[in-house]
Amino acid sequence: MTTKTVAYRQPPPTQNSEAWVKPPTQVLPPAPATELVAMKRLTFELPETLHTRFKLQCVLRRRQAYEIVREIFEKAVADLEGEHQA
């Protein structure tokens, strides 16, 4: 039986061989200051078809569901407050 010998030589390291794993050195501007507000969680049930339609609209608009729900609640509560004052 013959054995085959393969010559192997490890390539020398390059300067950029480690660069791809290091985090970027770019300094990002600080995030704008936002008012800290206490948050509460609300859980409720929806029909599956309404949930599916809502999630589809979120995807189509490339928005998070919580963003849209907050907008809907803001408008609804403002309407309710307006009715109460009338």
**26 lies in some domain:** no
| pLDDT the model gives residue 9 | 79
**49 lies in some domain:** yes
**11/58 Cα distance (integer angstroms):** 50
**53 lies in some domain:** yes
**54 lies in some domain:** yes
**1 lies in some domain:** no
**6 lies in some domain:** no
CB 65 within 8 A of CB 58: yes
> pLDDT tens digits for 39-84?
889 999 999 999 999 999 999 999 999 999 999 999 999 999 988 8
* Confidence band for 17, pLDDT divided at 50, 70 and 90: low
Structural domain for 85, as ranges = 45-86
**22 lies in some domain:** no
**83/86 Cα distance (integer angstroms):** 5
Domain count along the chain? 1
**73 lies in some domain:** yes
